[in-house]
Amino acid sequence: MAEPVPLPADPMELENLEYRPVRVRGHFDHSKELYLMPRTLVDPAREARAAGQLSSSVQSGAHVVTPFHCSDLGVTILVNRGFVPRKKVNPDTRQKGQIEGDVELTGIVRLAETRKPFVPENNPERNHWHYRDLEAMAKVTGTEPIFIDADFKSTVPGGPIGGQTRVTLRNEHTQYIVTWYGLCAATSYLWAKKFLCGTRGT
């Protein structure tokens, strides 16, 4: 992974930094937690062990997204602190993990998501968020539309499990296949028209 860089204060500067690690220093406002749900725990070691198995137990829960005031930048952003099981979504059940005071952490820059087919709409009234709508989340919490996933080292006993970034890159294989097959078909047609039809006419 690349070395973390200081977080830019301007959201526009983040457009080309998705999945880039950044450093921030400040404190959390646990009174305005948001919950991305349902989510499953990202655990590469467990997933490697389960590879090839017909079935495996998957723990369902939520990602805890908490406003974080960056003391050096003077702005408040959104930090995905990580995964908690469903029975620990209520913050009263994990008071030991509610970090107080200034901390320094490293996180991965994430951009806004568009709602995919069959994904429910976000429900701000119930605090149920199914995808990252940064503008809406920022409006509810009074933060900037800046979002990072805290890394695993941010995990504290009794708190969310950090390091929950799943890297999703655009898959354009289908587009490439359609494009190349189209070019092949067009080339074959032109070749046949020029040579085969020309031969018949002689």
Residues 59 and 96 occupy one common structural domain: yes
> What pLDDT, on a 0 to 100 scale, did the predictor assign at position 105?
96
pTM recorded for the entire structure: 0.80
β-partners of residue 82 are: 64
Instruction: Inform me whether the pLDDT recorded for 173 exceeds 50.
Output: no
Query: Same domain, yes or no, for 155 and 177?
Result: no
Confidence of residue 188 (pLDDT cuts 50, 70, 90): low
Check whether residue 158 and residue 181 sit in a common domain.
Answer: no
> Cβ atoms within 10 A of the Cβ of 108, count?
23
Q: Same domain, yes or no, for 115 and 44?
A: yes
**Both 100 and 187 in a single domain?**
no
154 and 80 in a single domain? The answer is: yes
Confidence of residue 62 (pLDDT cuts 50, 70, 90): very high
Average pLDDT of 107-117? 97
> Which residue has tokens 């993990």?
97
Q: Looking at residue 1, what is its pLDDT?
A: 72
Q: Same domain, yes or no, for 12 and 92?
A: yes
Looking at 91-192, which runs of residues are DSSP E strands? 103-110, 147-150
Structural domain that includes position 192: 172-202
Residues 94 and 193 placed together within one structural domain of the fold: no
DSSP class per residue in 68-111: EEETTTTEEEEEEEEEEEGGG-SGGGGGGG---S-EEEEEEEE-
| Token pair of 183 as six digits | 């070019």
Model confidence pLDDT, tens digit, residues 29-46: 999 999 999 999 998 665
Our count of domains for the chain comes to 2
Residue 47 pLDDT exceeds 60: no
pLDDT of residue 59: 85
92 with 180, same domain?
no
What is the per-residue pLDDT for 174?
Answer: 42
94 and 44, same structural domain?
yes
pLDDT band (50, 70, 90) for residue 50? low
Residues 64 and 113 in one domain: yes
pLDDT category at 10 given cuts 50, 70, 90 is confident
What would the mean pLDDT of 70-85 be, rounded to a whole number? 97
Structure tokens at 8: 């830019």
Same domain, 139 and 186: no
